[in-house]
Amino acid sequence: MALDLFKRIETRRGLFAVEKITLIYNLLTSILILFLFQRMDHPWRMLLDRAMIAAMTFLLMYLYRLAPCKFSAFVRIVIQMSLLSYWYPDTFEFNRFFPNLDHVFAITEQFIFNGQPAIWFCHTFPHLIVSEAFNMGYFFYYPMILIVALFYFIYKFEWFEKMSFVLVTSFFIYYLIYIFVPVAGPQFYFPAIGIDNVSKGIFPAIGDYFNHHQELLPGPGYQHGFFYSLVEGSQQVGERPTAAFPSSHVGISTILMIMAWRGSKKLFACLIPFYMLLCGATVYIQAHYVIDAIVGFFSAFLLYVVVTWMFKKWFAQPMFE
């Protein structure tokens, strides 16, 4: 199948939908930085980063006008999607000043399940095969995003802009929740309060503890596994005590599965095993409480409907023809 990557395409002038929503999120968080300016560690650098992202966005738009083709459109959109790796840890720079809410979720889990499923799960199945399967599923999160994006780019190019908008906007909605609902998850909260307290069902409030401490509980499971090492390494480098509720891993992967189903039943069938392992892994590796995963799952359907409506309302005409 010929992709015609460099064939000129008819397209609207101006910003893509995904670029507009990124600039809106950029502006909202810039305003928040100004409100918290005196309390933040490096507000000037954060504002400079945002100015550079905005400038890069308009520069890419200008360069695209010189050669409007599938490849240049792909570059513009993928760059905005890649910036999600910047916006995610950025949520911690805001929510670290608000009182941590992990105790509320841990107490709720204790009440519902008479214990902590995040502890039971990994302790019940510490075996190599189970550990590696769940860690593989968890690690597959970003490859899943890439696979679905490439599928739409190659086979459903007329819907590629919509797909990217729905995905990135859903991420940003989750990120706004993370800013104002600071929950770190068991892997951060349990070492903060001590495993003895966890085993006794004692879950104290820790206020702004994570403003000064970011100790991460080593991942459970078979510690010499290949995928275990990949997940553990990525978490030690890029993880922050933020973004536990609701689980964006479950939420975004569910949205990806909806997109896969609508695009190709074969793609959906290929991804479903990895999706199921990913959802289970969020609790298995103690990144999330069960409540986080459940709300992440159901919120995905609401977000997909709402964000799709936003796209149709704001961008009635497709960018690409």
Joined tokens for residue 47: 């504002």
Measured CA to CA in angstroms, residue 318 lies from 143, 159, 160, 166, 308 at distances of 27, 8, 10, 14, 13
- What pLDDT sits at residue 28? 97
- What pLDDT sits at residue 109? 95
- What pLDDT sits at residue 213? 79
- What pLDDT sits at residue 318? 57
User: 251-301 pLDDT, tens per residue?
Assistant: 999 999 999 999 999 999 999 999 999 999 999 999 999 999 999 999 999
pTM of the predicted model, to two decimals? 0.93
Average pLDDT over the chain reads 90
pLDDT band at 225 (very low <50, low <70, confident <90, very high): confident
User: 10-59 pLDDT, tens per residue?
Assistant: 666 789 999 999 999 999 999 999 999 998 889 999 999 999 999 999 99
- What pLDDT sits at residue 68? 85
